[in-house]
Amino acid sequence: MYTVKSYQFAQSLDEACELLQKDSKNTVLGGCCWLKMGHKRIRTAIDLTRLNLSYITESDGKILIGATTTLRELETSPLLQKRFGGILPQCVKNIVGVQFRNIATVGASVFSRYGFSDILTALLALNTSVELHLGGVMTLEKFIELPPQRDILKQIIIADDGRVAAYQSMRNSVTDFPVLAVAVSKLAADWKVSVGARPARAALAQNAAKLLSQGASPEQAGNAAAEELAFGSNMRASAQYRKLLASVLVKRAVQQCREDTSK
Ligand SMILES: Cc1cc2nc3c(=O)[nH]c(=O)nc-3n(C[C@H](O)[C@H](O)[C@H](O)COP(=O)(O)OP(=O)(O)OC[C@H]3O[C@@H](n4cnc5c(N)ncnc54)[C@H](O)[C@@H]3O)c2cc1C
């Protein structure tokens, strides 16, 4: 269990960032579901809940998701259910349980770039950017590669471009961390193939996407993704098993995208 010496409701993102920069023991709070698993000694806990960052809106051809939006809000959003084959609501539905998803936040999930993340995997298959208070707007692909930052994620920005998408994951039991997670999307001939929980964090399978844009079969794309990405072993599965799963889950997601496109 973590401990907190003082607790501050930030009145602005400037104030929150200033507090964060002031002391390495000051910590931004999301829903605290992950923090409570550790033993952090927090000097000042920075609460963002009064900054109006809980929203899922459309604006100017983009979908904006505020940092303090909960996973449950993502799951039940009528807007997101109608976009991208509903992969954002789908990708969170096996995360622990409803009470947990009522608390855990999107901002913390993306900022923390967990290897096992379902959300990161799904967002990476879309045209997603993140907006950091200090670092500004950058693509999720670029953000994933950055070293840990002392910054605050303000919102997620997704191009509302009509991509068709599909999500697949494999779990040893229904609410466990994924053994492997896959998201595939398609906009005309442009494909994105994202594979997460390898168990390293989500990455794009560029070669598989290129083959698909040239008309490759779902099976060829699955095999290409399995070949080009690195897989590791942990208590949930071996690297070899994950590699096999990748070829199958990518194949299924591509098939689903093609079927949904022809509807
Ligand atoms: C038991 C358990 C099982 C889980 N299973 C899954 C799973 O199967 N799939 C999956 O995808 N995820 C899973 N997760 C992760 C979960 O979905 C959340 O991503 C995680 O709990 C973090 O969300 P939170 O709001 O609780 O963050 P917190 O615990 O509050 O914070 C986590 C970290 O993010 C930082 N932070 C919070 N908000 C911001 C912000 N706006 N900007 C910058 N930094 C910020 C905090 O300082 C902290 O370092 C699981 C988590 C737990 C505890």
Q: Which of 7, 20, 23, 33 to mutate to test the pocket of ligand 1 (most atoms within 8 A of CB)?
A: 33
Q: What is the layout of strands, in order, in the sheet containing 41-47?
A: 3-9, 41-47, 27-29
Fold of domain 170-261? Enolase-like; domain 1 (3.30.390)
- What is 56-159's CATH number? 3.30.465.10
ipTM: 0.99
- pLDDT (mean) for 51-65: 97
pLDDT in tens, 124-173: 999 999 999 999 999 999 999 999 999 999 999 999 999 999 999 999 99
Q: Look up residue 177 and give its DSSP letter.
A: P
The closest residue, in CA terms, to atom 39 on ligand 1 is 108
Residues 118 and 124: their CA atoms lie apart, in Å, by 10
pLDDT tier for residue 263 given thresholds of 50, 70 and 90: confident
- Distance (Å) from CA 145 to ligand 1 centroid: 18
- Distance (Å) from CA 163 to ligand 1 centroid: 27
- Distance (Å) from CA 112 to ligand 1 centroid: 7
The SS3 assignment for 160 reads: coil
Nearest to 209 by CA among 200, 218, 201: 218
Domain range annotation of the chain = 3-47, 56-159, 170-261
Nearest to 11 by CA among 47, 42, 56: 47
Ligand 1 pocket residues where CB is under 6 Å? 27-35, 37, 48, 67, 71, 95-96, 104-105, 107-109, 111-112, 114, 116-119, 152-153, 177-178
Tokens at residue 132, please? 């950091």
Q: What is the atom index within ligand 1 of the atom nearest the CA of 105?
A: 25
- Distance (Å) from CA 243 to ligand 1 centroid: 26
pLDDT in tens, 188-234: 999 999 999 999 999 999 999 999 999 999 999 999 999 999 999 99
